[in-house]
Structure 1
Amino acid sequence: MKVLVLNSGSSSIKFQLFAVATWRAIAAGAVSRIGEDEGEVSYRWTDPQGHSRTDETRLPIPNHRDGIERIVAGLQAGGVLADLSELAAIGHRVVHGGERFQRPTLVDDAVVEAIRDMIPLAPLHNPANLDGIEVARTLFPGVPSVAVFDTAFHQTMPSTAYRYAIPEYLYLKHRVRRYGFHGTSHQYVGERAAAVLGKPFDRCNLITLHLGNGASATAIRAGRSIDTSMGMTPLEGLVMGTRCGDLDPAILFYTAEQLGLDNQALDDLLNRQSGLLGLCGVNDMREIHRLAAEGDDRAELAIAITARRIRKYIGAYYAELGRVDAIVFTGGIGENDAEVRHRACAGLENLGIALDDSANLSADRGERAISAAHSQVKILVIPTNEELAIARQALAAVGGG
């Protein structure tokens, strides 16, 4: 029994194939540059003898249907998927589920239309996600498709957390509220943190920090999201690679007037030209550290602002939760950047948050504690695995465990 996970973008499809018996990814890869003159199909798989193999092909990929057909053909040629009957489910990442979807959902015609109805809330993502679902349903009618929503985990937030202080009709008629994103990652690392702590997830209070090019923080009480830093869109909250995070909204009016920008230009400014890139001209934190070490003041400022914003959210969520069992770092920066972790936790000793500098600087990988022995709050590094989470949730949604 196997589960295929598809993450369909506007011009790409990422995939992983999991063996349910071990929950090991036996194949992964991507179809990219869909619709261009020359597309690309790449595979990584493990054959029955345990040997890893890779393959890459360049050829035109006219549409998502052709892309998914080539994914399956490659899996069969590689010997990791003998027949489609081996697939228990296909799990699809869907960015936005609005208020309707609070859990992974078996896809039928009504679900397809509901996802389509969410397109105004996620115009860059939901159409592509939907393409993958519709193609999979057409090509493989005997294999159930399951939609796993980035927003679903955060639908337990109370109205005091998700409502904005704006006229009510904007919420009731136009669905303007905070939804939050990265939910699959926050839930996955939260559950893994509970296992590390030796406690049931529904008895854990956690602050989870997904830090990468996109970044978000979540407050989890008794295994349920009660607040998160991203809002109606992924623009709100922490400093990100090219996104500004929290911002005085009046800056938009001022900037538009001063520079003569329209809505599209403002969107591009805040989503693609801001964040770390706007602060120091670079959005890769590894390069920013290198520049800071060479004395670049802008790079140093970018690191300091990033860490301060994280620390600010830790403090706010600590106050909201009252008791915190653990702070969890995940994502490319969260898992690998000891300096950002150090700065994010600095000065929080009075809250019972104390880092073990040696453990934090260790080259160890995988799930690990980096808190000092006397720290009242555990500080954990938990590598995220959203594809595995999607695979497990897809199987559960079709009654497979």
Structure 2
Amino acid sequence: MSCVSFDVQKIREDFPILKRKVNGHSLVYLDNAATSQKPQAVIDCMVDYYSNYNANIHRGVHTLSQEATDAYEVARKKIQNHFGITHPEEVIFTSGTTHAINLVANGFSSFLKKGDEVLVSAMEHHSNIVPWQMLCERTGATLKVIPMNETGELVMEDFEKLLSESTKLVFVNHVSNALGTINPIEEIIIKAHKVGAAVLIDGAQSCAHIKPNLNALDVDFYVTSAHKMCGPTGVGMLYGKKEWLEKLPPYQGGGEMIKEVTFEKTTYAGLPHKFEAGTPNIAGGIAFGAAIDYLNEIGFKEITAYEDGLLSYATLELLKIEGLKIYGTSKNKTSVISFNLDGIHPYDVGTIVDKLGIAVRTGHHCAQPIMDYYKIPGTVRASFSFYNTKEEVDKLVEAVKRAKMMLS
């Protein structure tokens, strides 16, 4: 689909939830950074699995099990191809980004010691802070923070100063969920590798907007969730270089991840099964593949171009409101706008715009250190997807004006 043929109204027809009313108003869904809506193709995929071939995978010789296994492994292959991954066994299905991060953090407990250093950025989601804090507490390693500046960009000069031979791990989000900033991950990966550090990139916020080629990036680990890219909740992906995944110990013990079990000793299965203990979210994994198909049918160049236009339009219109401040003004952004009205709590703004059928997120967005940096309790966050429209932006602007009038 080319930019010329990008028909947002036609695309909106694919999303049944966009037809509903909220508080008597047509739904304006602008909380896509929290979770995206699901097209009918993804919904149908899950219904089809449960209706026609529901069975456990990798364990049965009967027809339903074989059909389910084939569909699940086809989805793994779709993920591999989409992300430019060399080997299918480098794709580990997880319950989401948080699970994937914790899997890696747990594994590195075997490798770190006192005196080692772990770097995270100042704009991380809590799920990319807390696991590393826990890791450092277990191992005696030190957690250091790459600072950010007023525009919501990482201070790369300080990052270079923090790097040393003691740096073993670097963890940075590809895109900030609170600010929309696209971080310079290519530069971060290259510089971290020069000191021998491994790099994990949190792609939860990027993958709905950007199609990364993980082989070209030469990243050691990359994690994401399906539910932010039009897929179902409860499923995600850990990509890890094969040599790293083979070194890491299993995260969970149970069925599927074993080769042979006796009461004296257990040997583990090869990749990817070593990290996929128990019955997975089979329907979710298959539908993750369907979501990737759907997004690629539209085209990521088209999605990016359209969303960039929405972001520019919304930024210009919101800044016309006196007393409105936007946090995160990096030139390199995805379609997220975090803002506040002077003297008004973001929760109050969110409550009023919800009465008008508009869904935005308020609070610290699980990124409390960012809010502490700006010395604010939180923000109102409007996050746009390719199925949003300029007319919806206009409704948001009018709702914010109304909230300002009522609360001032």
Bucket of the pairwise TM-score, normalised by the shorter protein: under 0.3
Higher relative contact order, chain-length normalized (CA < 8 Å, sep 6+) = 2
TM-score, normalised by the number of residues in structure 2: 0.27
TM-score, length-normalised on structure 1?
0.27
